[in-house]
Structure 1
Amino acid sequence: MRRHELTDLEWELLAPLIPRAATGRPRVPDRQVINGMVYKIRTGVSWRDLPERYGPWQTVYTRFRRYALDGVFTRALQQIQAGYADAVGDIDWLVQIDSTIVRAHQHSAATGRKGGSTGRTNRNDHALGRSRGGLTTKIHLACDGRGRPLAVLLTPGQRHDSICARPLLERIRVPRIGLGRPRCRPDQVVADKAYSSRGFRAYLRKRGIACTVPEKTDQKRHRHNRGHRGGRPPAFDRQIYRRRNVVERCFNRLKGFRGIATRYDKTATSYEAAVNLASFLLWARSV
C-alpha cells in the first residue's frame, strides 16, 4: 500500500458497494481506480496529473463522474453507518451541526456550457456564491457525538446557516440492517447561535428532538421587553454545549483532504461525491 491509498480494511468495506460491469472488455481494476480518486482528493492535483500507476486519468475521471451521478459514495456512506455502526449501537445520536466555507479555485468557476454564460444563476446551481473571500462554497455538516459525518449539504458561500438547518437534518438517513425504517431523527441537536431561530426550534419541537442552542442577545432583549408575553427562555445545557467542538474537529479532519479544503470541482455533484468519499474514509477508520 502506498501513501494516500486505501488500506485492505477500507477496500474490504467499499468493494461490495462498487458497481461492476456485467459485460464488455476487461477494464482497469476497481481498487486501482478508487485509489486514484482517493489520491486526487487527498492531494488536490488535477485529474491530468494523476500518477500513471492508477491507469489513464480519463478512466479514473470518467468512473468518478459516473459514481458521483449514481450516488455510489452517498450509498456507501449510509451503508457503513448502518452495517458497522448503528447495528452495534456505535452511533452517538447527540448530533451536532455547523458549516464551513471553502474557497473555490478559479478553475472550478467555469461551469457554463461552451459559448454560454457563467452568470449568477449557473453558479448557484453548482453551489458557488459570492462572499467576502470571493467565490466560495459552504459545507453544512451534521455529525454524531464521536465526530463522524452523518449528512452533508452544499450551498453557495453566502447562504445563512439557519436556512439550511432543516434540509440538512432531513438528509440524515441511516438504514436498518433487516426490518425497520431508516433512522432519521437524532436524540438531541447541538448548534451555535447562528441556528437560534423560532422557526428552527419549533421544527425540532414538532419532531420531538431536544436541542441545545444558545439564545442570541437581541432575542433575549426582545423577549424581556415583551414581559410575560415573551414567554420563558429556551432550555440550555452548558455541559452539553461544551461538546460542540466535536463538529469543529470533524471539519478539521475533512479539510485534511486538500481536494476538500479547496474546491477544484466544477459541479456540485462531483464536489459532494468527493466530500462523501472522504466522509466514508473517516468512518472506515473508526470501525
Structure 2
Amino acid sequence: EVFRACRSRRGDNGRDDRKFLEAMHYFTVHNISWRALPAEFGAWNSVWKRFWRLRQAGVFELFFETLASLSRTAHLVQMFDSTVVRAHVSAAGAKGGSRARPSADRGVASPPRSTSRAISTASRSPST
C-alpha cells in the first residue's frame, strides 16, 4: 500500500511490487549502478524513478523508524555510511611498487651548469 501511494500519475505504473523490491535488493547486494540492473527487473530508469519518489516521500525513513520502534535492542545497532569510511590507497586502483621518475633520471644524466640560474636569468635582455 505504501508503494502505491508514491506511484506516478501518468505512464505505466509499476505493477509488480515484488519485482521492485527484488531490484532494490539486487542493486544493494551487488553494489552496481542503476543502469546495470538486469532487464528482468524492467527498465532501470523506471526502477530508479520509483525509488526516488519513495525516498522523496520519506518512506524509507519511516520504515526504519518503525522497525526501530519494534525492537528493544535497536539502540545497540549502528550503521556506517561508506562516504565517511576511508579506503586503502590500493582500493582506488593505484599501481603498487616503486618506479623510476623521469625527472629524477633526467637530473642524473644532465651535465652540470656552468653558471647559476640566478645569474643566467638576471643577464637576459628584455627582447627575449
Task: Output one character per residue of 1:194-219: Cα deviation in whole Å (capped at 9) or x when no partner.
Answer: xxxxxxxxxxxxxxxxxxxxxxxxxx
- Give the aligned partner of residue 105 of structure 2: none
Contact map agreement 2:35 2:44 (CA 8 A) in 1: yes
Q: Quote the offset at 1:44 in angstroms.
A: 0.8
1:35 pairs with 2:22: yes
Q: Which residue type is aligned with residue 35 of structure 1?
A: E
Q: Quote the offset at 1:43 in angstroms.
A: 0.9
Where does structure 1 lack aligned partners over 5 or more consecutive residues? Answer: 1-15, 86-90, 105-127, 135-287
- Give the aligned partner of residue 2 of structure 2: 17
Contact map agreement 2:68 2:74 (CA 8 A) in 1: no
Q: Which has the larger radius of gyration?
A: 2
1:55 pairs with 2:50: no
- The separation in 2 between residues aligned to 1:101 and 1:20, in whole angstroms, is 26
Q: Which of 52, 72, 75 matches 1:92?
A: 72
Q: Which has the higher contact order (CA 8 A, sep 6+)?
A: 1
Show the 5 A alignment for 1:46-85.
Answer: 46-82=33-69, 85=70
Q: Quote the offset at 1:20 in angstroms.
A: 4.3
Task: Output one character per residue of 1:220-250: Cα deviation in whole Å (capped at 9) or x when no partner.
Answer: xxxxxxxxxxxxxxxxxxxxxxxxxxxxxxx
Q: Quote the offset at 1:92 in angstroms.
A: 2.1
Q: Which structure dedicates a bigger proportion of its chain to helix? A: 2
Q: Which structure dedicates a bigger proportion of its chain to strand? A: 1
- The separation in 1 between residues aligned to 2:37 and 2:87, in whole angstroms, is 32
Q: Which residue type is aligned with residue 36 of structure 1?
A: A
Where does structure 2 lack aligned partners over 5 or more consecutive residues? Answer: 90-128
Matched residue SS, 2:76: strand
Contact map agreement 2:6 2:57 (CA 8 A) in 1: no
Q: Quote the offset at 1:52 in angstroms.
A: 0.7
Q: Quote the offset at 1:24 in angstroms.
A: 3.1
Task: Output one character per residue of 1:85-137: Cα deviation in whole Å (capped at 9) or x when no partner.
Answer: 3xxxxx325833656463x5xxxxxxxxxxxxxxxxxxxxxxx68x5747xxx
Contact map agreement 2:7 2:13 (CA 8 A) in 1: no
Q: Quote the offset at 1:47 in angstroms.
A: 1.1
Task: Output one character per residue of 1:9-34: Cα deviation in whole Å (capped at 9) or x when no partner.
Answer: xxxxxxx3222448434323233223
- The separation in 2 between residues aligned to 1:57 and 1:22, in whole angstroms, is 16
- Give the aligned partner of residue 26 of structure 1: 12
- The separation in 1 between residues aligned to 2:42 and 2:61, in whole angstroms, is 25
